[in-house]
Structures are given as structure tokens and as C-alpha cells.
Structure 1
Amino acid sequence: MRPSWRMLLTRVTLRFRDRRYMARVVEPADVRVRTDRRLMRLFPLPENMYHQWGTLRAGEDRVEALWISGRKVARRSILLYLHGGAYVMGSPLTHRHLAGRLSQLTGMRAVMPRYGLAPEHPHPEALADVLTAYRALLEAGYDPRHIGLAGDSAGGGLALGLLHRLGELGLPRPACATVFSPWTDLSLQSPSIRENAGTDVMLPGERIEEIRDMVLGGRDPLNPCVSPVFGDFSGAGPFYVQASSSEILRDDAIRFAARAAGQGCAVTRDIWENVPHALPLMERRVPEAGEVIYRAADFLKAHVRGTFGPDRMERRRRTRFIRGGEAGPPE
């Protein structure tokens, strides 16, 4: 099926505006300010959404977090969403529309920790912050079977790194994980980093090594906590992994899906043709992104206890764009 005209326009805008900017900007502080302003302007919070800043505490550790929920939410189910941004930019405010939309469609209250960004806070500080957030949910009484985990890009890799770390610590893992275009290998061994350098309309592949070095601060890129493609996920809950065939992180997603499946995990792999990196961020602007959001919501509702589905009007809004790969068309 042909892409929508909105998708075609979005690809052109990303390639000749955003990607060129990302290829030349030098200071992380500059790109953070621009990204925050641009994403908050382009993607406002959905209607009838509530959000409030708070603090998640686990023992002596604490992390600031943004709570987001739709009008109707279940009291016992929660979505821990980790925002993307290559570990150097982004915030809960830039991704609140995505977490909020998932909250609307699943009835889960969403929480987004403000984890430390590189280079000021290199690995493992971001992982420590999201581990604090998850432990805080457990200490607050949430049953792991009622917790869903999700993230996009670096946030997707961070979510998977968290799952590996939970296994190392012997802590109960959440019910399932949903990741969009996850960055799972900071050793940069995925062939698509080179093969798709000319087709990725958002990420400048020529700068990925520079960004990787900011994130690691000289630490081992093969550590499964930061490169979960090398991790142990035996006994982990089901995974939904979405990516684009034309992005540089395509093989990061595919290789992780293969590793998790090889360890006995249930994996739903959904590879879309020629769409931008982290497609769900563009929900309500391109119809293809809306379809991925519905698939992710269906996955979360199927595996997290205490969720509920959208009303009849929401079901009618599902798009005709069902070109994704192994996930297949919606029911």
C-alpha cells in the first residue's frame, strides 16, 4: 500500500530540515532547547489529559517524574514510559503526547522519569534513574503484572537495559515491554548503521559514534545494561518491537528481537517500510503512526492486567494503513 501524502511530506521535512540540523549542531544544550520547543509545539498533549510533576522515591534514591493519564484510568495498572533522544536530549515533556495517547487507549496511568542526560550524566546514571523509578513503583505496591514498560529510540534501549538489570538483581520484571526503534547496541555492530545511512530521514548516521562516546564516557559498549542486544532476557515478559526498514537502527531492533526469541521470549516484530525513526512520535500527524499506536495499545492490553479498551468511537478511528510486517493487520 502506498504511503499517505502526510507521510511523504513528513519524510521530506525531516530529511531537509531536522536531519540537516542534527548533522551540524555541536552543543547538546542547543539541541535540547530546540527539540523541546519544537516537539511541544508540534505535538501538544491530547485533549482530556491530565499531567502533574512528582517525585518517585525508592529508599534513599529519588527521581523526578511526570504523571500522565486520560479521563478514565484503572487504579492498579501503570505504564512506565522512557523517552528517547539519543540519551543526550528529550524529556518527559517532549514525549508526553505519546505516553498520554497510550494511557487513553489502555486505561493505564503513565509515568515518565526525568533521567539524567549525557554528556553531563553518562552511563550508568540514566539506568540508575529508571531503576529507581521502577523500584519506587514496586515499593508503592504496584504488582509487576500490572506494570507495562515502554520506550522509543534510546528510551527503548534503556527500557530493555532495565529488564536485563532487573534480572541481574533478582527483581520481578514488568508484565511486558513495548519498544519503538530501540537503540540496543552501542558497540555499533548493526549493518544497517552503514547500509541505511542514506535512507534514514531523521538520524545522521555519521554522528552516531560521537554520540555513543558521549553516552558511555569511556565505559564498555558491550555491557548488556547499555547494549541490551547482548543481554539475558530468559523469563522476561512478551515484547513488541517496532522499527523502520529504512532507519539506521533497523538491525538493532531485529537483532534484539532475534536474541529475545532465542531465549524463549514471546516477541512480536513489526517492521514498517520507509517510515521515519520512532514513528509513533508523529501520531495524529501521519496516519501510519496512529496505526502503530493502536497496535502497541492492543499489545499492552493483552498482557498487562487491569487495562481496558477504548470506546466504540476510538475503534472507528483506526487507519487503513496496515503495512507493518510480522504483527499483521489489526483484528
Structure 2
Amino acid sequence: MQWQVLEAGQQRVDALEIVPVDFRDDAVLLYIHGGGFVFGSPKTHAAMVATLGRSLGLRAVLPRYRLAPETPFPGAFDDVRAAWDGLLQSGVSPSRIVIGGDSAGGALVLSLLAQLLADKAALPAGVFCFSPLTDLSYSGESFTKNAAIDAVLPAERAHAMAELYMSGHSAADPKASPIEGRFEGAPPVWITAGDTEILCDDSRRMVQLLKNAGVKTTFVEERDLPHVWPIFHNILPEARQTLDSLAVWIRQVLVQANES
């Protein structure tokens, strides 16, 4: 692992680069960590992403975006966009990049995708999300229905983190809530979530929005698994199974993107 700097115009974003020993491909995993926009770092998610990258023989790049409350909305989004632009400016082809993220990182990934589409900019080969937050108004039924059984993400804490990040801005902004975005013309998207998560409906609704937009979408809803369970890949067999299934999908979208 080593730190690098991604530069896009006047913006500079530090990023953790993880290169597997058997690195054998020029493709890149651009991974955006979760943490409710207020905590977390590339290092908190490095082991999980390294496991995925190692199974694929791909290097991974994890940007260190600015966190709230010190940097409220849209600071994190701006940093993620700069990381994407910086990766392209470093010479990586967009069709050789797969973008992923979890929870709040999933929100940033999907919001980035919507913005790239709106800008008619270059697109990645595919996008994947673990338990993404897609609606910062928390209007999904599962937010209240599963509040008593979500073992990882307390509903009241989710509200508090969103308030720190949004700092008075509207949750209806697609840069905050990708459920408000438009996705016609998007590359394939893979999403997984657990049925006992307060954010389960965020995934269900996002998947429906993507399918309505004609996006090739894969949704895996698991029973009784916690928020962002793949991060527990050294403990839960189901976590490793999810990463293995995702790796198959990533291989497929990279091949498809470079055949077209």
C-alpha cells in the first residue's frame, strides 16, 4: 500500500493505492469508503478492498475525501469527482475502471455516476455498491420498519450524520441523494443489501429507478446480514461469498466494456 496524489486541475486528492503481488491487469478499482460522511478512511476499508483486488489481480485506488462537519456538502462529492477526473488524467482509460462504494460511499458513487451522465462525460465500465445510502431524506419504509433490528446502523445516528453533512442543504440535490438523479445511458450497476437494514429500501428503490432507466442492474438482497457485511470478510463466510460473486461480475463488465 502506498499513498498517491490524484490531480484534476487545481484540485488534489490523496488516495491509497493497493497493488496485489500478482498484479496482472491495467484495470483499476476506484473505491469510495463509507462512514456516514463523518468518519472512515481508505485504511478502514483497505483490507476488504485488497481482498477483492487480489482475487481479480487489479490495483485499487481509495480516495481520502474530506469529511463533515469540518467540510460539509458538497465537499465529499467534489473530492470524489476530482479523484475520478484525476485518475483519467493519469492515463487510465475510463473503460478500465470499475467504481465501488459502501453506505455513504455508495451515495457518492451513484451521485458521481448521475453527474457524469448529466455532463456527458466519460463513464466507467461498471459501478457496484454495498448497502448504499441513496436518499438522505430517509423516506424509505425500511428506515422505520427495521430500526429496531438493524444491528449496525442506528436510525437516530444516521439522521445526525446526514445533518452534519448537509448543513442546511436540500437532500433533494442529486449530488447528495442519487435517488433524485437520472441514469439513462449508465453502464451496468451491481447492488447488494440486507433485508434487515434500515437502508434496504434505499437499494430497492434505487434498483427500480435504474431498471426504469434501462440500466443493466444486478440486485442481490440477502437475509439477516448486517450493514456493509463484506467488510467482515475475515469473519463471515457470507461476506467472502459476496466478494467472490462480485469479482465474477467485475470481470464480466470489464470484458464487455472493452469489447464495445
Query: How many angstroms apart in 1 are the aligned matches of 2:193 and 2:256?
Result: 28
Show CA shifts across 1:233-276 (max 9, x none).
11111111000000100000110011001000011100000111
Output one character per residue of 1:266-305: Cα deviation in whole Å (capped at 9) or x when no partner: 1110000011100100002110100001111111111024
Alignment of 1:130-279 (within 5 A): 130-279=80-229
On the 8 A contact 1:74/1:306 being kept in 2, the answer is no
- Which has the higher mean CA deviation after the structures are superposed, 164-173 or 145-154? 164-173
**Aligned-partner Cα distance in 2 for 1:298–1:96:** 20
User: Within 5 A, what are the aligned runs for 1:313-324?
Assistant: none
Residue 145 of structure 1: how far off its partner (Å) = 1.0
Please tell me the residue identity of whatever aligns with 1:237. P
Q: Does 1:92 align with 2:42?
A: yes
* Paired residue total: 257
The 3 A distance-change label for structure 1 pair 306 and 56 is farther
Q: What is aligned with 1:117?
A: 67
Q: Specify the SS of the correspondent of 2:251.
A: helix
Q: Distance in 1 between matches of 2:229 and 2:189?
A: 18
- From 299, 303, 306, the equivalent of 2:249 is 299
Cα–Cα, structure 1 residues 306 and 229, in superposed 2: closer, same or farther, change >3 Å? closer
Letter in 2 for 1:92: P
Give structure 1 regions of 4+ aligned residues with deviation exceeding 3 angstroms.
Answer: none
Structure 1 residue 200: Cα displacement: 0.2
Q: Is contact 1:146–1:305 with CA below 8 Å preserved after alignment?
A: no
Using structure 1 for the length normalisation, give the TM-score: 0.76
Q: Which residue of 2 aligns with 1:27?
A: none
SS at structure 1 position matched to 2:147: coil
Do 1:77 and 1:305's aligned partners in 2 also have CA atoms closer than 8 Å? no
Instruction: Please state how far the C-alpha of 1:170 moved relative to its aligned partner.
Output: 2.0
Larger radius of gyration between Structure 1 and Structure 2? 1
2:39 aligned with 1:127: no
Measure, in 2, the Cα distance between the counterparts of 1:86 and 1:221: 14
> Of 33, 40, 43, which residue of structure 2 is paired with 1:83?
33
Change (3 A) 1:140 1:75: farther
Provide the rounded CA distance (Å) in 1 between the counterparts of 2:253 and 2:45. 23
Q: Within 2, Cα distance between the matches of 1:121 and 1:302?
A: 37
- Name the CA distance, whole Å, in 2 between partners of 1:238 and 1:113: 22
Percent of aligned pairs with the same amino acid: 38
CA apart distance, 1:207: 2.7
In the TM superposition, residue 306 of structure 1 has moved relative to its aligned partner by: 10
Any idea what SS the aligned residue of 1:236 has? Answer: coil
Deviations 1:146-172 (A, max 9, x none): 000001111111100110111222211
Amino acid at match of 2:169: R
- Asked if 2 retains the 8 angstrom alpha-carbon contact of 1:73 and 1:108, the reply is yes
Partner of 1:69: 19
Q: Which amino acid aligns with 2:165?
A: V
SS state at 1:304 partner: helix
Q: Which residues in structure 2 correspond to 1:319-330 (within 5 Å)?
A: none
The CA distance in 2 between the partners of 1:75 and 1:252, in whole Å, is 33
Q: Give the Å deviation of 1:75.
A: 4.5
CA distance in 1: counterparts of 2:23 and 2:72, whole angstroms: 35
SS at match of 2:186: coil
- Assess, with a 3 A threshold, how the Cα gap between structure 1 residues 128 and 296 changes in structure 2: closer, same or farther: same
Unaligned residue ranges in structure 2 (runs of 5+): none
